[in-house]
Amino acid sequence: MAERVTLKIFDIVGGPVWVSTDDGQKIFDKITAAFKAGRSVNLSFANQQNLITAFLNAAIGQLYGGQYDEAFLKERLAFSDISEDDRAMLERAIENAKRYFANRPAYDHAWKEVVDEDEE
């Protein structure tokens, strides 16, 4: 079993408000660095006051982009200190990421069509 490291989002982001994709990217980078070092990750949501899906998409969702398979992530990534509501939001973000990455070209094409329509 891989050594487990606890990453405290509050400490990495520098506060209780977790809404920016830039901050989410910091979390993603810490998680992937731990995985590359052969460690498992416990991601602590302690002291969170404001959380949105854009942050979760950047922090967690992109882990499902193909570099890691779902079995690896289930074994190596755990979450703690998370409320029931926030866990539901996290699970939705993960499910949406899996759907997106399973059919990325179609999603990107649909998004491009919407953007192109808005520009007309």
60-101: per-residue pLDDT in tens?
999 999 889 999 999 999 999 999 999 999 999 999 999 988
Contact criterion met (CB below 8 Å) for 95 and 103: no
Domain count, the chain: 1
Share of the chain above pLDDT 70, in %: 85
Q: What range defines the domain where residue 112 resides? A: 4-119
pLDDT at position 103, please?
Answer: 76
Q: What is the pTM of this model?
A: 0.85
Query: What residues does 50 pair with on adjacent strands?
Result: 17
CA dist 87 → 33, 49, 50, 77, 102 (Å): 23, 14, 13, 14, 22
